[in-house]
Chains A and B, each alone.
Chain A
Amino acid sequence: MIVAERKPIRRVLEAIEPYQRVLVLGCRGCVAICSAGGDREVETMAAALRLARKRAGRPLETGEATLIRQCDPEYLAPLREWADKYEAVVSMACGVGVNLIADLFPEIRVYPGVDTTFYGANTALGEWQEKCRGCGDCILDLTGGLCPIARCAKNLLNGPCGGSQGGRCEIRPEVPCVWHQIYERLSARGELDRLMNFFPAKDWRPAGHGGPRDRIREDLKMDK
C-alpha cells in the first residue's frame, strides 16, 4: 500500500489560514489502511484544526467526508457540488489524490493533509516498512524476492558494500542488510551462482527518471 503520515498540524493550519470553511476529505484506500487518512483520521484532523483556530480566535467551520478513493475521477465527482460550500479542501489522501483534485477542479483550492512516504507493508501493529520503490523494471526474480533498489541505501546491484556487518546495514543498526539477506536466501537454495553474474547498470527511465510515467491500455480505452 501507499504509506502516508499526517502532516504537522501547524503546516496544515498555515495552508488554510485565510479560510473559514474547509472540507477535510479522507480516502478509504491505502491511507485508511495505514491509519493516516481514513474516516478516523479525518475526524481527528478536523477537530484539531477547529480547536486550533478556536484558540486563535478565528473559528473554523469544517466539513468531513471520506471517499472510497481519491485516485479515480468517478469517486471525486461529489466534490463538484461540495466545492461551493467550502473555500478549501484538505485532502487526507496520498499525493495522488491531491494532484487529481487539482487537475480535475481548477477552481478548488486543495491542500495536503498527509505526507506521502513510501510503498510499504504493515510489518507489525503500528509499523510499516518500505518494500518497493516502483522502479518499473522488477528484478526480484534475480534476488530471491528481496529488493535492493528499495531496501539497500546505495541501490547496489552487485552485492553488499563494505559496511555490511553481522547482517546489518551501516546506515542504522536496526536496518538489515538486504544484500546479506539475498545472499543467505540464495545460498540456502543453492542458487548463489546468480550473484556471481555481473549485474549491468540499471536503466532508470522506468523508475521515473525519464519523466512522469503513465500506462496506456488501448484495449481498455473507450474514446476511439
Chain B
Amino acid sequence: MEPRSHLHRVLSEGHFAVTAEIGPPKSADGEVVRKKARLIKGYVDAANITDCQTAIVRMSSIASAVLVMAEGVEPVIQMTCRDRNRIGIQADLLGAAALGVKNLLCITGDHQKFGNHPEAKGVFDLDSIQLLDMVRRMRDEGKFMCGEDLTGARPEFFLGAAANPFADPFEFRVKRLAKKIAAGAEFIQTQIVYNVERFRKFMEMARDMGLTEKAYILAGITPPKSFGMARYMKYFVPGLDVPDEILKRMKEAKDKREEGINLAVEIIQQVREIPGVAGVHIMAIEWEEAVPEIVKRAGLHPRPLEAEVRPAVVVEVEKPVERVEVVAPPAEEVPEEAPPRVEIPVEAVKEVFSTVRSSIESLREGVNLLHDSLARLERALLGGEVVPAEAPEVPRVEVKVEERPPVEEKPVEAKEVPEEKEVAEEKKVEEKRVEEEKPAEEVEARVEEKPAEEEKPEEKPAVEVREEKPVEKPPVEEKPAPPAEGVEIGSFSGEYRPLSERAAGLPEDLYKEPGTAFIREVEIGKGEKAFKVGGTNVLPFHLFEGEMRHEPRVAMEILDVKPENWPESLARYFADVLDDPAAWARKCVETYGAEALCIYLMGTDPNYLNLDAKHAREVVEKVAGAVDVPLIVWGSGHAEKDVEVLREVAEVVGDRGAVIGPVEEANHRTLGATAMGYGLPVVASSPIDVNLAKQLNILLENVGVALDKILMDPSIGALGYGLEYTYSVMERIRLAALYAQDDKLQVPFICNVGREVWKAKEAGLPSDETMGDQEVRGVLMEAITSVALALAGGDLFIMRHPKAIELTKLIIKELMQQN
C-alpha cells in the first residue's frame, strides 16, 4: 500500500519517527505558526497542530496546518469531539483533505470546563472511537456516517489516536487502545512518559494483544522546563505520572533547562529500547526551541527522509515588515516589536498565576483525592522552599524569549495537560461555586426547625431514644436505685451553624426582623445571686436577628408543708427533707444547684390546712436563713388570705428582693401596695387571656407598681392540659409586645410549671407498658412543658423534678448557643 503521508512512509519503512507539537496562537497572526514550523523543520517528520487544546480558543488546527505546510513541514491535524457534531466534523475533514492535509489525530478533547469558555455547551456528539470509526468508513468505504455514499475524492487520512497509559483503570487502558485500533487508528500518540516502567508494562500488554503489529505507537515526550513545571504536572494534571526521581533531579539541577533536555533525551533512549515503540512525539510545552536540541542529542538528526510537502493551496503571507510599509500604520505600531510586546504581559501574568498556584497547592492537596500518601510525603520533602529558587529564573525567561523568534503563544500543551493558568483560575471558580452552593435553605423554615429538632428527644420515652440514636439525642435513662441518680441526662451532639451561613444567598433583610421594643428587665433577688429576666427584642431564641440579654431561668419549688400527693418518682428526691423547708431549700441549692427557690405556701390555703400568716412567716424565715439564692414566695392563690399572708412575709423578705404573688385583679391594690412598700417584684396572675393579662398590668401600674417590677403569670396549662392554648396566648402577648408597640405587655413571663405538671393524673400513674416508666414520664412531661413555653416566650420557670430541670436547662443552654 502506498503510504498515505510522509509520516506514514517514515513509519512504514521502519524508521524511528519523530513528531512535535505546534500550538496555534490565540490570534489571527499566521506568522506565529509559520515561525514555529521553521523552528522545527528538518528535525521532525510531522508536526501536530492542536485543536484548541485545553479548550482554549486558538487559531483552528486545519487553517494552521495549511500555514505549516507552506513552510515545508507536514502537519498532523487534530480533531476533537468537543466543539463539533458529526456534521461539522465530516465537513471540516473533507475540507482539510482538500487542502492537502494527510494526517489526522482523532481525540475526544479536553472538557470545556478546563478552558477559557467553561460556560460553553460541550458537543460530544461522538466520542473519539466513534470519530475514528466514522473517518475510517469515509475513507475506506466511501460512506458518510449516515450511510450515504461519498462520491468523488475521499479523505485519505493517515489516522491517529491518543492513548494514556497512566490513567485508570490501568488494565483497561490497553483494551481501550485495542478498541481505537479496531475503529481505525493507525498510529498512536501517548500521554507524556516519565514513568518508563509503567509505560514498559503498557507496551508489554499492547504487544501481547498484538497491537504493535497493527499500529505505530509513538511515546509522548516532554522536557520539564523547571522544577515547578515538573511538580505541577505531578500533582495537578490528571492522568500524568511523574516519578519522584524526576522531581528530585529537576530540583537538584543547577541548570534546570539543561536537565530538562537531558531527561527528555534519556527517556527517548529508554523508550526506544522498548519493543513496539515506533517513535516519539515531543511536546515541548512553552519551549519549542528545545525540540531541535533534543532531537540532535537523542541521535535522531538528521531525519531519514525528506518531507515532500505540497499544500493544495499555496499560502502566501506578506512579511509583517512589508505589510506595515504598505499600510501606512498608526504611529505606535512597530511591527518588529509587536510580538514581544504581547509576550511580556503574558509572561508576567503567568508568573502571577504561578505564585497564586503555589499557594493554592496546599489548599488543593487537602481535597484532591488523586494524591496518594506518597505524593504527600513527596511534597513535604520537596515542596515549600523551592518556589523562591524558581523566581530568579523569571527574568531569564523574558530575555530569552525576546531574543528568539517570537514564540508568541501560551504553552503548547500535551493533549491532556491543562494550562497552569487555567487550572489556577478554575480552582478559584470552583471554590467560589462551593461557597455559593452552601445550603440556601428556606430560612424561616430552618429557624423554626431548630428548636423543633431539639425538642424531639423529650417526646419519646428515653430508654427507647437511647436505643435508636444514642448520640444525637439526650437520653434520659431510668435506673431503679438511688433517687439522686434516677434519671440520667445526656448531652447534645453536633455543632451549630450560624443562620447567616445556612442562608447564604438570601439577603439578610429578608429573614431578619427584630422587634421594635425590648421586654423589660426585672431583677430577681438582691446581691450576688440576683439575676435578671427579660431584656429581649426578638422572639425566643431568634438570636440571629436580635438580642436575648438574659436566658430563661428556673426556680425550684419547695412547699411550706409536707406534700401528701406527690408521686413517689418526685417525692423520693426530697424524702429526707420534705417536712423541713429549710433543709429542703438547702438540698435544692446544694445538691441540685437551684439558682432560685419558690416557696409555695400551700398550707395557708383556707380550703386546705388554713395555716396562719405566722406559720408562713416562720417557714420563709427559715428558708431565707438557710439559702442565699433569690426567692419567690407564692401564696395559696386565695385572694383575701394571700393579702394577709404575703404582707407578713414581705416583712421577712423585704431586703432579699424576693418576688411575691400571685397578685390578681381582686387583690392588686393591697398586694400592689405591699410590694411597692418593700420594693418587691410581683407575680401578676391572670386567667389565660391576652387582654386580661394586659388589664392587670395596667391596673398594677395605676396603683404605682412599675412595669419592671412585674412578672406576668398567664396561668399555664401542662402538657396534655392546655399547653397549646397557653403557648398560643403567650406567643400572641409576646408578638404584641415586640412588634405591635404594646408597651403594657413588655413584661417577662413567669410560668408555674411544676405544680401543673405534677398534679396531672398521668404524672402519678404507675409504670406499665402503655404509659412507660413513671419517672421518665413525669420528667418528660415537666421538661416538655417548660421548653415549649420557653419557645413561646417564658422567662422564668418554677419546676419541681431535679432531672426535668436539668434537661430543661440543657436544652435552653443549647438554644442560647447560637451566637
Q: How far is the CA of A43 from the CA of B442 in the complex (A)?
A: 9
Contact residues on B (Cβ < 8 Å of other chain), bracket: 35 or more
Minimum C-beta distance from B417 to chain A (A) = 10
B130 x A158 contact (CB < 8 A): yes
A198 x B168 contact (CB < 8 A): no
Which residue on A lies nearest to B513, using beta carbons?
A51
Q: How far is the CA of A216 from the CA of B128 in the complex (A)?
A: 36
Q: How far is the CA of A199 from the CA of B86 in the complex (A)?
A: 15
The interface residues of chain A lying within 8 Å CB-to-CB of B443 are: 44, 48
A21-55 interface with B by 8 A CB criterion = 35, 40-41, 43-45, 47-48, 51-52, 55
Minimum C-beta distance from B8 to chain A (A) = 24
Q: How far is the CA of A45 from the CA of B444 in the complex (A)?
A: 9
Minimum C-beta distance from A149 to chain B (A) = 10
Best-buried of B182, B416, B444, B513 by chain A (most CB within 10 Å)? B444
B182 x A164 contact (CB < 8 A): no
Q: How far is the CA of A50 from the CA of B439 in the complex (A)?
A: 22
A198 x B183 contact (CB < 8 A): yes
Minimum C-beta distance from A160 to chain B (A) = 7
The interface residues of chain A lying within 8 Å CB-to-CB of B513 are: 51
A168 x B440 contact (CB < 8 A): no
Check A195 for interface membership: any CB of B closer than 8 A: yes
Which one of A5-13, A104-112, A133-141 is at the B interface? A5-13
A126 x B442 contact (CB < 8 A): no
Q: How far is the CA of A10 from the CA of B182 in the complex (A)?
A: 55
- Contact partner of B444 (CB less than 8 A), chosen from A5, A8, A44, A153, is A44
B136-185 interface with A by 8 A CB criterion = 145, 162, 164, 167-169, 172, 175-176, 178-179, 182-183
Which one of A65-73, A77-85, A94-102, A171-179 is at the B interface? A171-179
B111 x A163 contact (CB < 8 A): yes
A159-207 interface with B by 8 A CB criterion = 159-168, 170-174, 177, 180, 183-184, 192, 195-196, 198-201, 204
Q: How far is the CA of A95 from the CA of B506 in the complex (A)?
A: 22
A162 x B162 contact (CB < 8 A): yes
A6 x B167 contact (CB < 8 A): no
B370 x A164 contact (CB < 8 A): no
When A154-B124, A158-B129, A163-B238 are in contact, do A44 and B416 touch as well, CB less than 8 Å? Answer: no
Q: How far is the CA of A156 from the CA of B164 in the complex (A)?
A: 16
Minimum C-beta distance from B727 to chain A (A) = 19
A contact residues, total (Cβ < 8 Å):
50
A10 x B133 contact (CB < 8 A): no
The interface residues of chain B lying within 8 Å CB-to-CB of A154 are: 81-82, 108, 111, 122, 124, 127
A156 x B167 contact (CB < 8 A): no
Check A155 for interface membership: any CB of B closer than 8 A: yes
Check A121 for interface membership: any CB of B closer than 8 A: no
Q: How far is the CA of A86 from the CA of B128 in the complex (A)?
A: 55
The interface residues of chain B lying within 8 Å CB-to-CB of A164 are: 167-169, 238-239
The interface residues of chain B lying within 8 Å CB-to-CB of A177 are: 168
When A48-B444, A183-B169 are in contact, do A162 and B505 touch as well, CB less than 8 Å? Answer: no
B510 x A51 contact (CB < 8 A): yes
A183 x B172 contact (CB < 8 A): yes
A173 x B367 contact (CB < 8 A): yes
B 426-446 to A, binary, CB cutoff 8 A, 1 in contact else 0: 000010000000011011110
When A171-B113, A198-B133, A201-B145 are in contact, do A166 and B370 touch as well, CB less than 8 Å? Answer: yes
When A40-B445, A47-B444, A154-B124 are in contact, do A166 and B168 touch as well, CB less than 8 Å? Answer: yes
B183-201 interface with A by 8 A CB criterion = 183, 191
Best-buried of B127, B175, B506 by chain A (most CB within 10 Å)? B127
- Contact partner of B179 (CB less than 8 A), chosen from A41, A180, A196, A204, is A196
Which residue on B lies nearest to A45, using beta carbons?
B442
Check A76 for interface membership: any CB of B closer than 8 A: no
Minimum C-beta distance from A172 to chain B (A) = 7
A6 x B127 contact (CB < 8 A): no
A198 x B369 contact (CB < 8 A): no
B130 x A174 contact (CB < 8 A): no
Which residue on A lies nearest to B440, using beta carbons?
A6
The interface residues of chain B lying within 8 Å CB-to-CB of A47 are: 444
Minimum C-beta distance from B202 to chain A (A) = 13
Check B511 for interface membership: any CB of A closer than 8 A: yes
Which residue on A lies nearest to B449, using beta carbons?
A40
Q: How far is the CA of A180 from the CA of B440 in the complex (A)?
A: 33
B130 x A165 contact (CB < 8 A): no
Q: How far is the CA of A24 from the CA of B416 in the complex (A)?
A: 49
The interface residues of chain B lying within 8 Å CB-to-CB of A171 are: 111, 113
Check B509 for interface membership: any CB of A closer than 8 A: yes
Interface of A is mostly: loop
A180 x B168 contact (CB < 8 A): yes
The interface residues of chain B lying within 8 Å CB-to-CB of A6 are: 440, 442
Check B612 for interface membership: any CB of A closer than 8 A: no
Check A132 for interface membership: any CB of B closer than 8 A: no
The interface residues of chain B lying within 8 Å CB-to-CB of A150 are: none
Minimum C-beta distance from B191 to chain A (A) = 6
Check A146 for interface membership: any CB of B closer than 8 A: no
The interface residues of chain A lying within 8 Å CB-to-CB of B511 are: 48, 51
Check B330 for interface membership: any CB of A closer than 8 A: no
B439 x A126 contact (CB < 8 A): yes
B169 x A162 contact (CB < 8 A): no
A162 x B134 contact (CB < 8 A): no
B86 x A201 contact (CB < 8 A): yes
- Contact partner of A195 (CB less than 8 A), chosen from B145, B167, B172, is B172
- Contact partner of A170 (CB less than 8 A), chosen from B86, B111, B125, B440, is B111
Which residue on A lies nearest to B85, using beta carbons?
A204
The interface residues of chain A lying within 8 Å CB-to-CB of B127 are: 154-158
Minimum C-beta distance from A131 to chain B (A) = 19
Q: How far is the CA of A167 from the CA of B443 in the complex (A)?
A: 37
Check B415 for interface membership: any CB of A closer than 8 A: yes
A201 x B126 contact (CB < 8 A): yes
The interface residues of chain B lying within 8 Å CB-to-CB of A204 are: 125
B 80-99 to A, binary, CB cutoff 8 A, 1 in contact else 0: 01100010000000000000
B507-535 interface with A by 8 A CB criterion = 507, 509-511, 513
Q: How far is the CA of A192 from the CA of B178 in the complex (A)?
A: 14
Minimum C-beta distance from A148 to chain B (A) = 9
12 new A-B contacts at CB < 8 Å, known A44-B442, A163-B110: A5-B440, A9-B510, A52-B510, A55-B509, A55-B510, A153-B113, A154-B127, A158-B127, A160-B172, A162-B191, A198-B183, A199-B129
Residues of B that sit less than 8 Å from A by CB: 81-82, 86, 108, 110-111, 113-114, 122, 124-130, 133-134, 145, 162, 164, 167-169, 172, 175-176, 178-179, 182-183, 191, 238-239, 367-370, 372, 415-416, 430, 439-440, 442-445, 505-507, 509-511, 513
Residues of A that sit less than 8 Å from B by CB: 5-6, 8-10, 35, 40-41, 43-45, 47-48, 51-52, 55, 126, 153-168, 170-174, 177, 180, 183-184, 192, 195-196, 198-201, 204
Some 9 contacts from A to B, beta carbons below 8 A apart, are A9-B507, A44-B444, A163-B239, A165-B370, A184-B169, A196-B179, A198-B129, A198-B133, A201-B134
